[in-house]
Structure 1
């Protein structure tokens, strides 16, 4: 179970910006992958996303009190890193479902990442990731080129994991 209280501040001021224009001064990611077609694919992928199964499939250990909901704090663990986040926004619209989480103190990066499954009018289903980030800790500032590669690697893993 994640420790800490919801009163802990996020480590960046542009909360919710993954839903629109991404802020200056950060690395930006906008990636998508067609993961199939039809309502069944959309429902399976979006349900897995909201239950944190996508993060588990991508190789992370997930400590969350329940499905993704605004205010939910989650601790992701990967390769010895503790990655604390808070869900800051959810999407639950016809044909679109997902959430964005922001970084909490202790996260290696500072910023926000949004995960969305879209069922498009042509019947295709797409996994979409939008993020902005910059180094948040001394070791990610020093090792920024490595941190960028890790982020690109994890983005690809998340997209593939949304396909099931």
Structure 2
């Protein structure tokens, strides 16, 4: 296993571990819930699930993702990742750890929690669901608050950027699922 997180930066930066799997989300954070219709049918569900659970959707959306598993491997609880946000010298490294996963006949996805050194503090889940009628949905659910001086300084801009990225990621999941 490649060590992606330096010593002292490998602990969760929030106390509400696993809260994206429950409702209501914890108080004291900004909440995000964004749902995108992906398509219909088993093939679409399976392709979307693979795109999400291997970080392929994140990578094709422009994020740099390094994990302690292979690029095509599905995440599991404990998987560590560093997501690169931004461009060139303005790129910010965001360390996180997969908190929970779900691999079921009509549901696939995971949540990661922020580690010390992440610009935000909280958790985000990425889940693909298939309804009984075959409709496939991609949902991003998150709770977060600023952890770095620059995210505190950015104030209300950060939630807008998070929502914009959730929409952008949804479009990428839809495109990847349609191409399969």
Q: 1:13 aligns with which of 7, 12, 15?
A: 15
**1:68 positional shift:** 1.3
The alignment of Structure 1 onto Structure 2 pairs a total of residues equal to 164
**1:102 counterpart = 2:113:** yes
**CA shift for structure 1 position 7:** 8.4
The Cα of 1:149 is off from its aligned counterpart by 1.9
Q: Which runs of 5+ in 2 are unaligned?
A: none
* 1:44 and 2:63 matched: no
What RMSD in Å do the two structures reach over aligned CA positions?
A: 1.5
TM-score, normalised by the number of residues in structure 2: 0.86
SS in 2 for 1:23: coil
Alpha carbons of structure 1 residues 65 and 102: separation in structure 2 relative to 1, 3 Å? same
**Runs ≥4 in structure 1, deviation > 6 angstroms?**
none
1:157 to 151, 168, 175: 168
Contact 1:26–1:132 (CA<8 Å) still a contact in 2?
yes
Kept after mapping to 1: 8 A contact 2:9/2:116: no
- 1:59 and 1:7 map into 2 onto residues whose CA distance is 25
1:124 maps to which residue?
135
Q: CA deviation at 1:153?
A: 1.5
List alignment gaps of at least 5 residues for structure 1. none
TM-score relative to the length of structure 1: 0.95
